């Protein structure tokens, strides 16, 4: 007698929510007429849930967006926080890059996604404009989905 297939555990971040985050990030960017953006949303296991690339993005933007999200998820903090915390530790940054097989971009634009209990359920990486602009779009996308970004606010000095 054949055994029924096992049920898979639900992802920490479902497709509809990930799509809402990515769409929200791009909508925020369009409001500020940014350069074209690429957005990658990962679940807590580091699996790509959704990916969007606007027309006109350079070919490296996908890898950069993924690296920002993967680094944030892997270190459990935003890519801005990683940059700031490790600014005087280049050897450790290099070690993280090696350990992550190059999937580590320590500049703003990688933001962790928290649920209502404050647990990291995924991360978003955005690339295409300045790092501060990328981070702003990421935070706005998470907020659009009703979840909590970490960091909660971006540096908006680029808007002036």
Taking the complete model, does pTM exceed 0.85, yes or no?
Answer: yes
Residue 98 lies in a domain: yes
Q: Print the domain residue range for 83.
A: 15-152
Residue 2 lies in a domain: no
Show the tokens assigned to 99.
């350990």
Mean per-residue pLDDT for 99-128?
93
Residue 55: exposure state from Cβ atoms within 10 A (0-12, 13-18, ≥19): exposed
Query: Is 44 a residue whose pLDDT tops 80?
Result: yes
How many structural domains comprise the chain?
A: 1
Mean pLDDT for the chain? 92
Residue 53 lies in a domain: yes
- In this structure, the dihedral spanned by the alpha carbons of residues 49, 94, 129 and 150, taken in order and rounded to 10 degrees, is 60
Query: How does DSSP assign 85-153, residue by residue?
Result: HTTT-HHHHHHHHHHTTT----SS-EEEEE-TTS-EEEEEEEESS-HHHHHHHHHHHHHHTT-EEESSS
Residue 37 lies in a domain: yes
Tally of CB atoms within 10 A around 85:
14
Q: 124 near 41, Cβ under 8 Å?
A: yes
Residue 16: pLDDT band with limits 50, 70, 90: very high
Tell me, what CATH number does 50's domain have?
Answer: 3.30.450.150
Mean per-residue pLDDT for 99-110?
90
Residue 132 lies in a domain: yes
Q: What is the C-alpha separation between 100 and 130, in angstroms, rounded?
A: 24
Query: Is 137 a residue whose pLDDT tops 70?
Result: yes
């Amino acid at each position: 007698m054949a055994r029924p297939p096992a049920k898979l555990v639900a992802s920490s971040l479902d497709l509809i929510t990930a799509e809402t985050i990515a769409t929200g990030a791009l909508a925020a960017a369009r409001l500020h007429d940014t350069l074209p953006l690429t957005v990658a949303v990962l679940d807590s296991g580091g699996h790509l849930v959704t990916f969007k690339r606007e027309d006109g993005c350079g070919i490296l933007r996908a890898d950069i967006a993924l690296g920002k999200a993967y680094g944030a998820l892997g270190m459990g903090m935003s890519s801005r926080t990683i940059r700031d915390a490790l600014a005087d530790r280049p050897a450790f940054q290099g070690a993280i890059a090696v350990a992550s097989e190059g999937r580590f971009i320590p500049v703003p634009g990688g933001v962790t996604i928290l649920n209502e209990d404050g647990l990291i359920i995924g991360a978003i990486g955005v690339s295409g404009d300045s790092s501060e602009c990328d981070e702003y779009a990421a935070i706005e996308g998470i907020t659009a989905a009703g979840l909590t970004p970490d960091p909660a606010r971006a540096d908006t000095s680029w808007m002036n």
